[in-house]
Structure 1
Amino acid sequence: MDGILISNVRKDYRLGRNTVTIFSDLTMTIAPGDFVAIVGPSGSGKSTLLNLIGGIDRPDQGEIDFEHARLSRMSESALARWRAANVGFVFQFYNLMPMLTAEQNVELPLLLTSLSARQRRERVETLLSMLGLADRRRHLPSELSGGQQQRVGIARALASDPKLLLCDEPTGDLDRESADEVLTMLRILNTELGKTIVMVTHDDAAARSARRQLRLDKGKFIEAEAA
Structure 2
Amino acid sequence: MTGQTLIHLQDVSKRFVKGKDTITIFDHLGLSIPAGDFVAVMGPSGSGKTTLLNLLGGIDQPTEGSITFDGGRVDTLTEGQLARWRAHNVGFIFQFYNLMPTLSAARNVELPLLLTSFGRAERKRRVEAALSLVGLAERADHYPREMSGGQQQRVAIARALISDPKLLLCDEPTGDLDRTTADEILAMLRLLNQEMGKTIVMVTHDPEAAKYARRTLHLDKGRFTERELVA
Unaligned 5+ residue runs, structure 1? none
Q: CA deviation at 1:152?
A: 0.3
TM-score (norm 2): 0.96
Post-superposition shift, 1:116? 1.7
**RMSD (Å) for aligned C-alpha atoms:** 1.0
Cα deviations by residue, 1:54-97 (Å, 9 ceiling, x for unpaired): 10000000000001110111111111111111000000100000
In the alignment, which of 151, 154, 162 is matched to residue 154 of structure 2?
A: 151
| Matched-pair identity in % | 63
Residue of structure 2 in register with 1:207 after alignment: 210
Q: Distance in 2 between matches of 1:26 and 1:217?
A: 12
Secondary structure at 1:73 match in 2: coil
Structure 1 match to 2:117:
114
* Structure 1 residue ranges (4+ consecutive) displaced by more than 4 angstroms after TM superposition: none
SS in 1 for 2:213: coil
- 8 Å Cα contact 2:87-2:116 kept in structure 1: no
Q: Conserved in 1, the CA contact under 8 Å of 2:104 and 2:140?
A: yes
Give the TM-score, by structure 1 length: 0.97
Partner of 2:7: 4
Cα drift, residue 203 of structure 1 = 1.1
Equivalents in 2 of 1:114, 1:78: separation in Å? 15
Of 214, 220, 223, 2:223 maps to 220
Q: How many residues are matched?
A: 227
Shift in Å at residue 135 of structure 1?
1.4
Residue 84 of structure 2 contacts residue 115 of structure 2 at CA under 8 Å; is this kept in 1?
A: no
Amino acid at match of 1:32: A
Q: Which runs of 5+ in 2 are unaligned?
A: none
Shift of 1:141: 0.3
